Chains A and B, each alone.
Chain A
Amino acid sequence: MRERSASALAYVLFAEAMALPESQRGDFLDARCGGDTRLRTDVHELLAIAARDEVATGALCGPAHAGADEESWVGRVIGRFRLVERIGAGGMGVVYRAERIDGVQQSVAVKLVATSMASVAQSRFEREAQLLARLEHPSIARLIDAGVQDTRAWIAIEFVRGKRIDEYCRDLQLQPRDIVRLLIRLADAVAAAHRLLVVHSDIKPANVLVGAEGVPKLVDFGISTALREADGHSSTVNVARMFSPNYAAPEQINGTPLSVATDVFGLGALAYRLLTGVPPYADAQDPIAYLLAISQRDVELGSQAARTAGRDASLVRALRGDLDAILAKALERDPQRRYSTATEMQADLTRYLDARPVHARTPTWAYRVKKFVSRNQVAVGLTALLLIAITGGATSAALQARKASIAQAMAARRGEFLESVLKSADPRSGKRDLSLAELLDSAAGALDDKLSEEPLVEASMLGLVADTDVGLGRYPQALAASDRQLMLLETHDGGALDIGRALTSRGRVLREQGIWLEDEKVMRRAVALLRPLNAKPELARALFELAAVLAHTDQEREAESDYREELALEAAGPPELRAHRSYTYYALGGLLTNLGRYREALQYELESIELAKRTMPADHQDLLTFQAQYASTLISSNQPAPAEAVLRDVIEKDTRVSGADHKDVLLTQSLLADDLVELQRYDEAAELALKAASALDALLGGDNSYSLTAWQTFAIATCSEGDFSRGLEVAQRISAARVRLYPANHRFVHAAAAAVGLCLYRAHRYAEAEPILLSAAAGLEATRGEHYRFTQLAYRLLRDLYEATGRPDTARSYSARLLPDAAHSR
């Protein structure tokens, strides 16, 4: 035992020492090990092993590019090929045309990349190549062989004689229908690759060649990935990738893992370019402009872009409608909203050719195509950082000083700084590829060095870094950046508005992490700072955050007044702020429902729906959420009949938009099952609850609150229906899970106990049911009040139980506590 903990201690000291420069390690160990020579020896041994590894890794990843470009390998033999001529060079290496040396007539393109691969990387490289070799499709340039030779990793690919697809389309003046035929073949090729788990992630005109027979071929499929393996630092997201303007998908910029949807975007961008003659976001020609564009707005409709570019009116007409819709769906910024596979996109393109209705034009899409409403859930990550920095969204500190020139200077300084950070990450400048996270780390480090003379600029940059970290889910880093930001703002008189904003952002991070105590303090301060200022949007946002904390920490009354204040601010504000009221009404409605003030709650919830209907399409996810909550409040307040119609409508719309087994749909079904229990349609309720519960289990894993609720409804419906043993078993399982997962006095624990009590009562096991129901009733009453639905259920069961066991007086006392409409239902 002592042995083990000594080993753990050695590890901790070793890890700390590794973070120090070598020169300081001796002193560090002197200080930390004291006289424990054994410990010191252990750490020394660990450091020695690590140093040995470092040498080995250094050799693996060392600079291997040098000279690769200058040196001509023409005439040399690689594998079974002789290099004939150099046909190109890119970031990844040099490409040669090569011929077989064994007399077989076959031309290949051989790509060489310098490497000093150790056997590890080599085997990965070969595995990658093996996978690619299985990729056979008439529209994919086939990988023929691969290997490592003389410090070079090489890949031989089918040699395609042809033209770049954009030039081909232009030279032959192809019509949209011909272009769509080419695209269908390419989509088919991409789908074939996806079935082998290979994502191209760099589909653009330069990577598609059309041969003499008019067959388009994708080159470089997955090859860059394989070669990066060979290069010793494989990476899916790197800065070089991020800066491939006009064809990169937002997720390639945000640093989220790439997927099939990334290639759908690439196909969409390629299609856009070929059909309209201009690439998506054509006005954004440099990388930074592209990042800004894609984070700010959806792509322009294809037909509009074609018109702006001065294309023929007949082309513009041909694009309008179906093709516009297909391009828009493929180029959705949110990957989840794109065609989910290349096959789906292919199918829609085929439907277009056959003049059948395309799926991209379902009602959901119609409004997007028409209006292109901005959606704010997409732009997070680096985009936010760039966006705000360059457009000067956070210049308030200077504006407050009423010196527009300073504001301009600050915006300019931020722009310069960002560019320098981004440039320093450019692999072509000699550094190795950086992921977005590393980029952020380096940005945070560089801030101090470069901007220490300009604390307010540094502070606003730190705010951006923090927001970006939040977007990437890097909460500790976000908090660290926000700490420093606040410190700078406060020591350099940053102004109440900026401090208030910074605090509000911090509050959001804390809320995401559920750190309520500090969140409350932070938000109270933010509100106190912002209230005296005439800054309505900022104060409204701060109040929303504060109210959210209060609602979570059982301070509902205060939360209510904050929401009301927010509503007043919003009502007097500009249109965007007024539109936000639908969310505030919704939040307030939820709060009042929890307080048992159903009538008011219903009023606000209706208000939120009415407002939302004015600004959102009928099947907008948020609107559906508002409606589902309204129905839930109807159920809570014993109005199950109107709730059913609302729920069925929500389910129908949501299924169309999100698919039958989307979480939201399942949750609404679970709610509907609940409603059916209230309507005493137990058969239907049990069936629906079972379906929803099983699907939620599969979707979210067991033990999550959503499936537990659905199972509980199933148990109640089943017991009410008469199948006591099955229902009781489920109810007991749910009750045990609630006890395990929630604090002892949580209403979920009591509600689950009430369900167990119900099953026992129905099974005429009165003696067992009584104590459980009594305790559940007391708990529910204490946590949620007498009017709460489950409190009422417990009262009703107790009344029935005492009537059944011949104790009419006690029964009457519970009868008296029942609400009028609840008294009769059973």
Chain B
Amino acid sequence: MDDKSDAAAVLDGLLERWARGERGALDALLTQFYRDVHQIAVSQLRRERHSTLRPTALVHEVYLRLTSLPRIKVQDRMHFLAMTARITRQALVDEARKRRSQKRDGGDPVTLTDANLGEFGRVYDAVDLDDLLGELQQVDRLAADIVTLRVFGGLSVDEAAAALGVSSATVNRHWATGKAWLTWELQKP
């Protein structure tokens, strides 16, 4: 058995177990998945002239890939979206950091744009955003989580609420403060 079909079999088994409701299989599943997401991110970056990504579009592509897998019986979209959002953030930022370190002058940064965050059409540096999210996490973990889900996963307020097991009112509150703070930080000269 060659490596490829081996990996596919593992993925297949994990998907099946997850679909049967074994939540624990998800972590393993998403580890497998990380490479895939990363790959998609890299190829999109290569395609885009200005290295600017819309993370939600990325998630969408991941989504479609998953559904094309033969035995997918995904039970829990919300949970999947949430996990994908986290993975997307990780994959994008890993790639951005790699690029940064390869070029000492910091050229070719990976930038993001998302209508969920700040003004429409504005472009943010992925590494900056990730750093700020890390800081936000120190003061308001929930807010950082919510921003990740909304910006990197395109989740709505209610979806984020369901994914995090808190009320929509709570999500709204932390989203408002977290987003305002990020906007403020990103505006700083």
Contact = CB atoms under 8 A, between A and B. Distances in A.
A120 B116 contact: yes
Interface string A468-491: 000011100000000000000000
B156 A11 contact: no
26 contacts: A11-B140, A11-B181, A119-B115, A123-B56, A127-B56, A194-B73, A196-B67, A197-B80, A199-B77, A233-B158, A235-B168, A237-B162, A257-B78, A259-B21, A260-B74, A260-B75, A261-B75, A341-B19, A435-B161, A441-B167, A472-B165, A474-B165, A659-B20, A661-B17, A662-B22, A663-B24
A341 B21 CA distance: 11
A195 B72 contact: yes
A493 interface: no
B176 A53 contact: yes
Given A127-B60, A236-B159, A438 B140 contact: no
B14 interface: yes
Given A8-B135, A14-B177, A698 B168 contact: no
A50 interface: yes
A195 B73 contact: yes
Interface string A742-778: 0000000000000000000000000000000000000
A268 interface: no
A50 B177 contact: yes
B108 interface: no
B10 to A, nearest CB: 9
A582 to B, nearest CB: 27
A517 interface: no
Given A11-B181, A195-B73, A663-B24, 12 more contacts: A7-B135, A7-B185, A14-B177, A118-B115, A124-B154, A197-B67, A199-B77, A438-B168, A473-B165, A661-B22, A699-B22, A699-B25
B159 A234 contact: yes
B161 to A, nearest CB: 6
A340 interface: yes
Nearest to B60: A127
Contact of A698 (B25, B63, B170): B25
B27 A701 contact: yes
Given A53-B180, A340-B19, A234 B74 contact: no
Interface centre among A437, A472, A473, A659 (most CB of B within 10 A): A437
A701 B31 CA distance: 11
B58 to A, nearest CB: 12
B7 interface: no
Given A340-B19, A698-B28, A11 B139 contact: yes
Interface in A1-55: 4, 7-8, 10-12, 14-15, 18-19, 42, 45-47, 49-50, 53-54
B112 to A, nearest CB: 15
Contacts of A11: 136, 139-140, 177, 181
Interface residues on B, range: 35 or more
8 closest Cβ contacts across the A-B interface? A437-B167, A259-B75, A50-B180, A235-B158, A699-B24, A49-B180, A234-B156, A120-B115
A700 interface: yes
B102 interface: no
A257 B162 contact: yes
Nearest to B115: A120
B157 interface: yes
Given A236-B162, A340-B20, A473-B165, A119 B183 contact: no
B74 A197 contact: yes
Nearest to A437: B167
Contacts of A545: none
Contacts of B56: 123, 127
Interface centre among A11, A236, A441, A473 (most CB of B within 10 A): A11
Contacts of B167: 435, 437-438, 440-441
Interface in B67-84: 67, 72-80
A699 B17 contact: yes
Contacts of A173: none
B173 to A, nearest CB: 7
Interface in A97-119: 118-119
Interface centre among B19, B75, B140, B176 (most CB of A within 10 A): B75
Contacts of B185: 7
A118 B168 CA distance: 19
B115 to A, nearest CB: 4
Interface of A: 4, 7-8, 10-12, 14-15, 18-19, 42, 45-47, 49-50, 53-54, 118-120, 123-124, 127, 194-197, 199, 229, 233-237, 257, 259-261, 335-336, 340-341, 343, 434-435, 437-438, 440-441, 472-474, 659, 661-663, 697-701
A534 to B, nearest CB: 41
Interface string B159-175: 10111011111100100
A441 B73 CA distance: 34
Contacts of A118: 115
Nearest to B166: A437
A18 B173 contact: yes
A54 to B, nearest CB: 7
A701 B23 CA distance: 10
A798 B29 CA distance: 44
A767 to B, nearest CB: 40
Interface centre among A199, A343, A699 (most CB of B within 10 A): A699
Contact of A260 (B73, B168, B184): B73
Contacts of B60: 127
A440 B169 CA distance: 12
Contacts of B28: 697-699, 701
A341 B115 CA distance: 36
B24 A14 contact: no
Interface string B2-33: 00000000000010010111101101100000
A18 B177 contact: yes
B99 interface: no
Contacts of B24: 663, 698-701
Interface string B125-156: 00000000001101110000000000000101
Given A14-B177, A18-B173, A50-B176, A435 B75 contact: no
B164 to A, nearest CB: 10
B21 A336 contact: yes
Nearest to A695: B17
Interface centre among B27, B63, B67, B180 (most CB of A within 10 A): B180
Contacts of A435: 158, 161-162, 167-168
Contact of B184 (A19, A46, A259, A261): A46
A4 B181 CA distance: 13
Nearest to B154: A124
Interface centre among B19, B116, B181 (most CB of A within 10 A): B181
Contact of A437 (B139, B161, B177): B161
Contacts of A437: 161, 166-168, 170
Contacts of B63: 197
Given A50-B180, A435-B168, A437-B166, A340 B27 contact: no
B179 interface: yes
A124 B159 CA distance: 12
Contacts of B165: 472-474
B162 to A, nearest CB: 5
Nearest to B75: A259
Contacts of B139: 8, 11-12
Contact of A233 (B14, B22, B157): B157
A123 to B, nearest CB: 7
A112 B179 CA distance: 32
Interface centre among A118, A124, A440 (most CB of B within 10 A): A124
